[in-house]
Amino acid sequence: MPAQWDEPFGLPTIEALFFRHSVLGTRARRIARNRDAGGGVLRDTLDELITAGEKVTTLDPRACRERAERHFTHLVMAEAYVRMYEQMLQKAS
């Protein structure tokens, strides 16, 4: 996921994690937030991404899936939306 723009969410990253695939990507805003040490490798430049490519194959596929299940299931996401909507309603009052 070598995004060179400020990725709004990074859905391909989340999908990769659910399918137990490590993510190699840039530090674009949401991509960085959507992965951790168990799910991928982040670098700043294309040369660094190419060099880090070998590291991705050493990461634990189970850690990728576990990360996705902890943060991005439909239930976790729905709860986060409800909290956000409740905060917006409180601010509007």
Taking 60 as the threshold, does the pLDDT of residue 80 lie above it?
yes
In the chain, domain spans: 11-92
Contact 64, 17 (CB under 8 A): yes
pLDDT averaged over every residue in the chain: 81
Q: Considering the chain, what percentage of its residues have pLDDT values greater than 90? A: 22
Q: Is the pLDDT of residue 37 over 80?
A: no
- Cβ within 8 Å of residue 44, ≥6 positions away: 26, 27
Answer yes or no: is pLDDT of 34 > 60: no
Q: What is the pLDDT of residue 86?
A: 97
Q: Using CA atoms, how far apart are residues 31 and 16, in angstroms rounded to an integer?
A: 12
